Structure 1
Amino acid sequence: MPRLRVHNYSMSLDGYGAGPDQDEQNPMGVGGGQLHEWVFATRPGRAMIDQEGGSTGADADFFLQGVDGIGATIMGRNMFGPVRGPWTDEAWNGWWGEEPPYHHHVFVLTHHPREPLAMEGGTTFHFVGDGIESALEQAFEAADGLDVRLGGGASTIQQYLRAGLVDEIHVAVVPVLLGSGARLFEGIEDVADRYTRAELVTSPAVAHIRMTRDG
């Protein structure tokens, strides 16, 4: 049965998945970029941005698990871009340039829907304004039997956690302190006991923790 999975969600030692003051110059908030340095040190992470080299091993393996068996993605509007409120113009096409790294259908949660946006490389962004369940239903249909990956930000993942819809979550804890920003594990006290640690692997860069939903 297809699952909803969170993968490679990088989090600081003090619990932040993004720094403060997210904008076009700081997509992950101030200081948040260092949370993802481990990704771009790996061979598959560097290949994603058309660069050679990089490491193999645990970090590369976990990165690839976030791609394997995934047929569609869901993300919050903040992950798509810094534009807030109504789409006064539709020039913003996401953080990733003309060829985003997804290569499948991506469903963006928003209160201000717009027409689907087809990009190079097979990625099409769909803007969903009628809730998280609708986005998940559309994503499962688009995935055609494969799993759906749930991207950020933290508030988007929290919504799906509270609704009991996340089957698996992988967090990469990075040994840095951000001090402020967006916390992932906040306001989910009533669902925390539904998940069990399935795997703990450490590398010189991060600690990988994978948890699965009970039942």
Structure 2
Amino acid sequence: MSDVRIHNLAISLDGFATGDGQALDSPFGHAGERLHEWFVSTRFFRAADGLPGGTFGADNAFAERHEPGIGAEIMGAGKFGPPGWHDDPDWKGWWGPTPPFHTPVFVLTHRPRPSIDMEGGTTYHFLDATPNDALEQAREAADGADVRIGGGPTVVRSFLAAGLVDHMHVAQVPIVLGRGVRLWDGLESLEETYDIEAVSTPSGITHLTFTAKNR
């Protein structure tokens, strides 16, 4: 059976994966771009945007694991758009006409709408479903490849709580946000079901990897 993976999920030292006050002009609220500066500076990210340069080393090595072997993605409504996007029939996500996913993407929302075919192989499907039911549909669409849980933190928490995640990579960024949406709430004792490793890099990022035991 295909694996369920999470990659490059950035959190602050106090555990927030997004800041407070998400809006159209501030996708991560008051956190701005601080959670993701390490990622956008990597060679992997810059090459994907057709830009030269970028850092190599461990940060880039972790960033590169984002794509290989992924056949479908699941994300929450808050990752797909800002508050109120459900009321805009023309909203098609933050990423323009050619999103970076190139696979079926399942958006979890209490207000489903018809699927949207985008350029580059991405198709958005909108589901009002439990994690188990959403994963069943995503696995079928992935056709044997792995399924990535793309975020945000509320969706990641729900899949972790349901015991559905095989591998997770969290990048802990040396900032304190104080408010927003936390990743770890309600997830006590993950160390009992996951082997956890930590790698720190010169950029100040601590990369935490969680690998499910007995899988």
Say whether the fold is shared (TM-score over 0.5). Answer: yes
In the alignment, the residues of structure 2 paired with residue 51 and residue 94 of structure 1 have an alpha-carbon distance, to the nearest angstrom, of: 23
Instruction: Judge conservation of contact 2:81–2:94 (CA < 8 Å) in 1.
Output: yes
Instruction: Tell me the equivalent position of 1:51.
Output: 51
Identity %: 48
Letter in 2 for 1:75: M
SS in structure 2 of the partner of residue 97 of structure 1: coil
Q: Kindly tell me the number of residue pairs found equivalent between the two proteins.
A: 213
Instruction: Tell me the equivalent position of 1:17.
Output: 17
Instruction: Tell me the equivalent position of 2:201.
Output: 203
Letter in 1 for 2:57: G
Instruction: Judge conservation of contact 1:17–1:32 (CA < 8 Å) in 2.
Output: no
Normalising by structure 2, we get a TM-score of 0.94
In the alignment, the residues of structure 2 paired with residue 99 and residue 167 of structure 1 have an alpha-carbon distance, to the nearest angstrom, of: 29
Shift of 1:49: 2.5
User: Residues 202 and 192 of structure 1: is their aligned pair in 2 closer, same or farther, counting only changes over 3 Å?
Assistant: closer
Instruction: Judge conservation of contact 1:155–1:184 (CA < 8 Å) in 2.
Output: yes
Instruction: Tell me the equivalent position of 1:178.
Output: 177
SS in structure 2 of the partner of residue 201 of structure 1: strand
Shift of 1:133: 1.6
Instruction: Tell me the equivalent position of 2:92.
Output: 93
Instruction: Tell me the equivalent position of 1:77.
Output: 77
Letter in 1 for 2:90: A
In the alignment, the residues of structure 1 paired with residue 84 and residue 168 of structure 2 have an alpha-carbon distance, to the nearest angstrom, of: 28
In the alignment, the residues of structure 1 paired with residue 198 and residue 17 of structure 2 have an alpha-carbon distance, to the nearest angstrom, of: 19
In the alignment, the residues of structure 2 paired with residue 122 and residue 82 of structure 1 have an alpha-carbon distance, to the nearest angstrom, of: 23
SS in structure 2 of the partner of residue 2 of structure 1: coil
Segments ≥4 residues shifted beyond 4 Å: none
Normalising by structure 1, we get a TM-score of 0.94
In the alignment, the residues of structure 1 paired with residue 19 and residue 82 of structure 2 have an alpha-carbon distance, to the nearest angstrom, of: 14
| Deviation digits for residues 163-192 of structure 1 (CA, Å, limit 9, x no counterpart) | 111111110011111111111011122655
Instruction: Judge conservation of contact 2:18–2:28 (CA < 8 Å) in 1.
Output: yes
Letter in 2 for 1:112: R
What 5-or-longer segments of structure 1 have no aligned partner?
A: none
Instruction: Judge conservation of contact 1:32–1:178 (CA < 8 Å) in 2.
Output: no
Shift of 1:69: 1.1
What 5-or-longer segments of structure 2 have no aligned partner?
A: none
Letter in 2 for 1:68: P
